[in-house]
Amino acid sequence: MVSHIMKTTLNIDDSVMAQLKREAVKQKRTMSELVESALRLLFRAEKTKRALPSLPSFKSGGYLVDIADRDALYQTLISIDSRFWR
């Protein structure tokens, strides 16, 4: 397999760069190797992301009030509130 290596420049936050340097020393690897490994993991994770399952739906039996009707909504809320505090 032929591998091509591209030299590039990245702008990396100082604190991230310091952490990268420490980790490279700790693992006895180059910073480039660590960055490449991290990018490969990121790209692999993006490929394996699964779609979120659909949320369940329920039959509520209809609505108590048309929420576009402010007065009816207010009256319903007062009615429910008074039943709750009895």
Other Cβ atoms within 10 Å of 17 Cβ, number: 13
Whether 16 has a pLDDT exceeding 90, the answer reads yes
Choose among 33, 25, 31, 37: nearest CA to 12.
31
Q: What is the pLDDT of residues 46-65, one digit of tens each?
A: 777 777 788 888 777 777 78
**Single-letter residue type at 83:** R
With a threshold of 0.85, does the pTM exceed it? no
The string of DSSP codes covering 19-83 is HHHHHHHHHT--HHHHHHHHHHHHHHHHHTPPPPPPPP-----S-SS-TT-HHHHHHHHHHHHHH
